[in-house]
Amino acid sequence: MKVLLVNKFHYLKGGSEKYYFDLAKELEKHGHEVAFFSMKNKNNIQTNNKEYFTEEIDLNSNNKLKALEIIYSRKNKKKMEEALEDFKPDIVHLNNFQRQLSASIIKPIKKRKIPIVFTAHDVQAICPAITMLDGNKKICEKCIKGKYINCIKKKCIKNSKLKSLLGAIEGKYYRIANIYRKKIDYIITPSQFYKSKFIEDGIPEEKIKALHNFINIDEYKIDTKDDNYALYFGRLSKEKGILHLIDAFSKMKDGKLYIAGEGEEKENIKKLIENNGLEDRIKLLGFLNTENMKEYIRKCKFVIVPSIWYENCPYSIIETLAIGKPVIGSNMGGIPELIKNGENGFIYQVDNINDLKQKIQKLFNDNDLVKKFSEKSKELCKKLYSKEIYYNELIKIYNSLLNR
């Protein structure tokens, strides 16, 4: 089988790109031929596969003609036609394609009657701002079923009326053109929660399957130890709940927290740590590469995922489970699907800082419980999130589309 994988970034920018490259490896391992379709960038990873690149589009550009290309790009459509003629795929598997690649790439695929699978790594199909957060970083579902005027009113995209207008126009075009309802043949959501949101928005349930992300578990088989600190790793931004986490630690008399990552809230975090006299208990690690991150996970007591937005299926949780550590997470989006409350960690009420504080203290004070949760984490990861399990489910979807 020949599979063309599509993603707007061809370097490891986030979870979508990890999935994109890991999926290629797994498909090739099973004898399938893989090619990539993406956007030019100086950071692009070179592979031994066929690669097709469109010109890079900067969403921050003030060029109005360039801005319109996020809705429809004739150049990208032509590049996709060239890729299809050259590679002749049996399946086209889309990941993050909106904006920079645009819906223009769909038309030549449909013209050739090639089945299209789409893994929805976010909710851009529903929300022009992608995150279901308004301009004030509060949960917002007002754009469900195409009510995009709300995006403009609330300036949900980077607090800009113009960018929010463009996002709303793009969303309207996708809806009128039936990109998600009809043009895409099958949608994979990495969480049941996202599947429910797509159904609520009007996508037929029979064309959606929830499949949690996967990892190569063998890469995470490392010895663990307990250096008695809690760990947060990820983007330092409001929606990730990092400020809630520091607030919880400020209400505790002891307990150490290590924070790994970079982001716009870094300076605010530093001030909070200083103002609350937490310099001895909270340590900022900055950006860590994959191997260094694994090292901090293996030595922590537990990991905390305090997101205040609708997370999909965070790799941070699955990687933690694979290494064998408990996780405390908020009850937002797909997080509760990965943490079995009272079995391999705890779920807490997102707006209840005291609940979070109590869960943290319980794990700091109960080593036997931490050990029990750690063993369960490994067991669940092996049972649910292996690459073999994912491949078997995905190939069923591919074959069902090819057999229609």
pLDDT tens string 313-361: 999 999 999 999 999 999 999 999 999 999 999 999 999 999 999 999 9
The torsion defined by the Cα of 297, 96, 4 and 219, in degrees rounded to 10, comes to 0
pLDDT tens string 149-178: 999 999 998 888 888 998 999 999 999 999
Beta-bridged to residue 2, according to DSSP, are 33
**Residue whose entry in the numeric block shows the structure tokens 């900055």:** 286
Q: Which CATH superfamily is domain 217-384 in?
A: Glycogen Phosphorylase B; (3.40.50.2000)
The torsion defined by the Cα of 5, 316, 329 and 359, in degrees rounded to 10, comes to 170
Contact 161, 152 (CB under 8 A): yes
Q: Find the radius of gyration of the CA atoms of the chain.
A: 22
Q: Residue 322: what pLDDT?
A: 97
pLDDT band, very low/low/confident/very high, at 310 (cuts 50, 70, 90): very high
| Fold of the 2-214+386-402 domain | Rossmann fold (3.40.50)
DSSP string, 70-129: TT--HHHHHHHHHHHHHH--SEEEESS-TTTT-GGGHHHHHHTT--EEEE-SSSTTT-TT
Contact 303, 293 (CB under 8 A): no
Residue spans per domain, the chain? 2-214+386-402, 217-384
Instruction: Report which secondary-structure segment, H or E, holds 189.
Output: strand 186-189
- What b/e sequence results for 301-331 when a residue is b if at least 16 CB atoms lie within 10 Å of its CB, and e otherwise? bbbbbbbbbbbbbbbbbbbbbbbbbbbbbbb
Q: What distances in angstroms separate CA 263 from CA 40, 93, 137, 215, one per listed residue?
A: 25, 31, 15, 25
Matching fold, domains 2-214+386-402 and 217-384: yes
- Secondary structure of residue 211 in the 3-state scheme: coil
Give pTM, 2 decimals: 0.93
pLDDT band, very low/low/confident/very high, at 63 (cuts 50, 70, 90): low
Q: Residue 21: what pLDDT?
A: 97
Q: Residue 62: what pLDDT?
A: 55
pLDDT tens string 22-53: 999 999 999 999 999 999 999 999 999 999 99
pLDDT tens string 203-238: 999 999 999 999 999 999 999 999 999 999 999 998
Handedness of CA 57, 59, 60, 61 (dihedral sign): positive
∠ CA 41-47-51, nearest 5°, is 65
Rounded-to-integer distance, Cα 170 and Cα 168, Å: 5
Instruction: Report which secondary-structure segment, H or E, holds 269.
Output: helix 266-275
pLDDT tens string 285-297: 999 999 999 999 9
Q: Residue 60: what pLDDT?
A: 65
Q: Residue 67: what pLDDT?
A: 62
DSSP label of 46: P
pLDDT tens string 99-147: 899 999 999 999 999 999 999 999 999 999 998 988 788 899 999 999 9
- Name which of 105, 122, 123 is nearest 114 in CA terms: 105
pLDDT score of 66 more than 90: no
Handedness of CA 197, 237, 300, 386 (dihedral sign): positive
pLDDT tens string 247-299: 999 999 999 999 999 999 999 999 999 999 999 999 999 999 999 999 999 99
